[in-house]
Amino acid sequence: MSPEPFGARLRRAMDTRGPLCVGIDPHSSLLTGWGLDDDIAGLERFTRTVVEALADRVAVLKPQSAFFERFGSRGIAVLERAVADARAAGALVVMDAKRGDIGSTMGAYAATYLDPASPLFSDAVTVSPYLGFGSLRPALDAARASGSGVFVLALTSNPEGAEVQRSTAPDGRSLAQVMLDHIAAENAGAAPLGSVGAVVGATLERAGVDLAVNGPLLAPGIGAQGATAKDLPRVFGDAVRNVVPSVSRGVLRHGPSVSALREAARQEAVQLAEAVK
Q: What is the pLDDT of residues 99-125, one digit of tens each?
A: 999 999 999 999 999 999 999 999 999
Nearest CA-CA partner of 196 in 114, 87, 82, 268: 114
| 67 pLDDT more than 80 | yes
- 91 in any annotated domain: yes
What is each CA distance from 154 to 193, 230, 247, in whole angstroms? 18, 22, 19
For the entire predicted model, the pTM comes to 0.97
Instruction: Tell me the residue ranges of DSSP E strands in 48-101.
Output: 60-63, 92-99
| 224 pLDDT more than 80 | no
- 39 in any annotated domain: yes
Q: How high is the mean pLDDT of the chain? A: 96
- 53 in any annotated domain: yes
Nearest CA-CA partner of 92 in 147, 41, 138, 29: 147
Classify 130 in phi/psi space as left (phi over 0), alpha (psi -120 to 50) or beta. alpha
- 22 in any annotated domain: yes
- 190 in any annotated domain: no
Percent of the chain with pLDDT over 70: 100
How confident is the model at residue 277, as a pLDDT?
79
Contact, 163 vs 178, CB < 8 A? Answer: no
Q: Which helix (H) or strand (E) holds 206?
A: none
Give the angle subtended at the CA of 3 by the CAs of 121 and 47, to the nearest 5°: 30
How confident is the model at residue 181, as a pLDDT?
98
Catalytic residue selected from 62, 98, 230, 277: 98
Instruction: Give the number of domains in the chain.
Output: 1
- 207 in any annotated domain: no
How confident is the model at residue 205, as a pLDDT?
86
Q: CB-based contacts of 128: which residues, under 8 Å, 6+ apart?
A: 98, 99, 100, 152, 153
- 179 in any annotated domain: no
Which CATH number do you get for residue 116? Answer: 3.20.20.70
98 is catalytic: yes
User: Which residue type occupies 145?
Assistant: A
Please report which residue ranges of 135-257 form alpha helices under DSSP H.
137-146, 162-165, 175-186, 232-236, 249-252
Provide the residue range defining the domain that includes 93.
6-173+216-275
Binned at pLDDT 50, 70 and 90, residue 1 comes out as confident
| 211 pLDDT more than 90 | yes
- 97 in any annotated domain: yes
